[in-house]
Structure 1
Amino acid sequence: MKVNLINKQVCESFLKIAAGIGTALSTFLLFVDIPKDWKIRSFIVFSVVLVSIYLVIWWRANNLKQVTIKIDGTTVTVKSGDIFKELGLKAIAFNEYFDTVVDNNLISERSLNGMFLKSKLNGTIEKLDAEIEKFPFEEGEVLQREVPRAVGKSVKFKLGTIFVKDDFLLTAMSKFDDSNRANLTMPEYLEFLINFWDQVNKIYAQRSVVTPIFGSGITRILGHRNITDEDLLKIMLWTFRISEMRFKYPATLTIVVHEDKIDQVNLLDLKALRNGV
């Protein structure tokens, strides 16, 4: 279970309910006397009810699928679901070259950008490549041209660079090693997030934005083999808060957790954070 049986938030929720029941019961007993032969039975029934309430609260905490918090005025929703079914600008992480070859070597067909390229792209990959090549990126976003690579494109982009394609935000997130494995160091991951929020701030135009948990899946955070999706999610929320990115109403930020991984994320813990991220 992702939420322990003895959990601070669960206990606090239970105590609030128990206090309300206790107050109501005390008021009721001012006017009604319980027969002596029913007092022990009543105590047992009352105890069973309280234990049942606690277990229900604990069960619900472990089965939360969505939570909404406020970060400096911005509504942020973390939920289970399919990012492609969400409304708004949907962020899809690419590597630093915006490679588009879905061959299960350079790009896995099971990754988000693989699924985007194979079934969600409006138009052909060749047209997308041409649009990226001709796009006037800002100064500093193109780091190097004619990079010698055996496979893939040769233009390297700054981490966090965004190319808008319809209602998708294609963003350069990961670096590739010589074996075409996506990886980042923690400083590079933080650099990506700060740059990403900065770019979103420039282009979102009061539209809601939807992201996955960046770094979840095949991207390796070097030196942090045991980092969890929940850790990555908290880092995302922290960098969002320290950035200048703020969504103006009615725009919101939604972070979608894959349905297979939602049970690994303690949403109750995030709910308790509120403005304390």
Structure 2
Amino acid sequence: MATLKRVLKNLIYILGFSATLASFYLTIYNPLTELSAIIKIILILLFMLVNFGVAFVLGWPLSKINLKISNKIDLNIYYDDLFNQNGIIIIIPVNEYFDTLVDERIISSSTVHGQFIKKVFGGNIEELELKINKELQNYKEKSIVSRPRGNCKKYELGTTISVNKDGKDYFLVAFTRFNDSNKAESFNIDYQVTLKSLLDFIHINSQGKDINIPLIGAGQSGVNLTKQKLLEYLLFSIQIHDCFTVSGRTNVVLNKGLKDVIDLNRIKDLYSI
């Protein structure tokens, strides 16, 4: 539906522009006066067909874009497997306990957090927990909570640590909290605070490497924004973060399943103004 609206909108603009040029040309020189009615109809149909073709090409959904969102940041947005990016830092949103139990209750296997544990560590929880606990020694826990399953030490949202595996660096950021029903959630205000802390950490610790960021909040976190708005807010947060500078590339890597709900043409239009 969004594609159709975009094509129709482009068609209106293109028709208006080309019709104006055609009218101006025919006012000065009109070679159509001696043509038959059938030829004129054919020419009109060809005129419409060409205009529609141009509108269709311009309105076709983009699958990759490059944006200059600030004087310091060139950013790529594309659809791919987040874990298929080589030699770079990958951002992993986790919960406030830095849990490692993928049981579809504490951590869902469909989330970036769950995929990280399964794909990167092959389900080796012991190795992952050793790395996490070593990094978390640099932080003071917010509280210690009695839980029937999962870790007990709770950390402030936005707490970010670096975990290395097979030559790749992964930045784990505490993004979601657990409510009284043991369901992960993140409010809009949490989202803002978390993004600021994450961007601060990336700025200090990226060390010239490429950064790959998923659409944070697009999973089961409960952020009250559409996927499109989440992406727009993520880009806006990067844009206005005065200190955010990376020497490598900055990529927002979108899950291919988001193609139907993310409009990259709109994003490109927003940052082309």
> TM-score interval w.r.t. the shorter chain?
0.7 to 0.9
Q: AA paired with 1:55?
A: F
Q: Which residue in 2 is equivalent to 1:116?
A: 116
Is the contact between residue 132 and residue 163 of structure 2 (CA under 8 Å) also seen in structure 1?
no
Q: Secondary structure at the match of 2:83?
A: helix
Q: Which residue in 2 is equivalent to 1:43?
A: 44
Unaligned stretches of 5+ residues in structure 2: none
Is the contact between residue 142 and residue 156 of structure 2 (CA under 8 Å) also seen in structure 1?
no
Distance 1:257 1:136, change over 3 A: closer
Distance 1:151 1:188, change over 3 A: same
CA distance in 1: counterparts of 2:103 and 2:208, whole angstroms: 36
Is the contact between residue 83 and residue 212 of structure 1 (CA under 8 Å) also seen in structure 2?
yes
Distance 1:137 1:269, change over 3 A: farther
Q: Secondary structure at the match of 2:271?
A: helix
Corresponding position: 1:191 with 2:193: yes
CA distance in 2: counterparts of 1:9 and 1:69, whole angstroms: 23
* Cα shift at 1:40: 4.0
* Cα shift at 1:236: 0.9
Per-residue Cα deviation, 1:71-105 (whole angstroms, up to 9, x for no partner): 11311122111101123211111101100011111
Cα RMSD (Å): 3.0
Per-residue Cα deviation, 1:133-169 (whole angstroms, up to 9, x for no partner): 232655xx43424322222112222222222122211
Q: Which residue in 2 is equivalent to 1:126?
A: 126
* Cα shift at 1:4: 4.9
Is the contact between residue 100 and residue 125 of structure 2 (CA under 8 Å) also seen in structure 1?
yes
Q: Secondary structure at the match of 1:187?
A: helix
Distance 1:149 1:92, change over 3 A: same
Indicate which of 247, 258, 267 corresponds to 1:270: 267
Distance 1:219 1:254, change over 3 A: same
Q: Which residue in 2 is equivalent to 1:154?
A: 152
CA distance in 2: counterparts of 1:15 and 1:160, whole angstroms: 50
After superposing the two structures, state which structure 1 stretch, 79-88 or 5-14, moved more.
5-14
Per-residue Cα deviation, 1:16-56 (whole angstroms, up to 9, x for no partner): 9x659958x959x97x9455223443233212321232234
TM-score normalised by the chain length of structure 1: 0.82
CA distance in 2: counterparts of 1:267 and 1:13, whole angstroms: 20
Q: AA paired with 2:209?
A: R
Per-residue Cα deviation, 1:112-147 (whole angstroms, up to 9, x for no partner): 111111121279321221222232655xx4342432
Alignment of structure 1 residues 97-108 onto 2, 5 Å: 97-108=97-108
Alignment of structure 1 residues 1-277 onto 2, 5 Å: 1-5=1-5, 10=10, 14=14, 22=21, 33-34=31-32, 35-37=34-36, 38-58=39-59, 60=60, 63-73=61-71, 74-87=73-86, 88-121=88-121, 124-135=124-135, 138=138, 141-166=139-164, 167-221=169-223, 224=224, 227-249=225-247, 251-274=248-271
Is the contact between residue 206 and residue 247 of structure 1 (CA under 8 Å) also seen in structure 2?
no
Count of residue pairs brought into register by the alignment: 262
* Cα shift at 1:213: 0.7
Is the contact between residue 131 and residue 163 of structure 2 (CA under 8 Å) also seen in structure 1?
no
Is the contact between residue 2 and residue 263 of structure 1 (CA under 8 Å) also seen in structure 2?
no
Distance 1:123 1:259, change over 3 A: closer
CA distance in 1: counterparts of 2:208 and 2:271, whole angstroms: 23
Q: Which has the higher contact order (CA 8 A, sep 6+)?
A: 1
Is the contact between residue 212 and residue 256 of structure 1 (CA under 8 Å) also seen in structure 2?
yes
CA distance in 2: counterparts of 1:102 and 1:236, whole angstroms: 27
Distance 1:69 1:40, change over 3 A: same
Q: AA paired with 2:102?
A: V
Distance 1:254 1:36, change over 3 A: same
TM-score normalised by the chain length of structure 2: 0.83
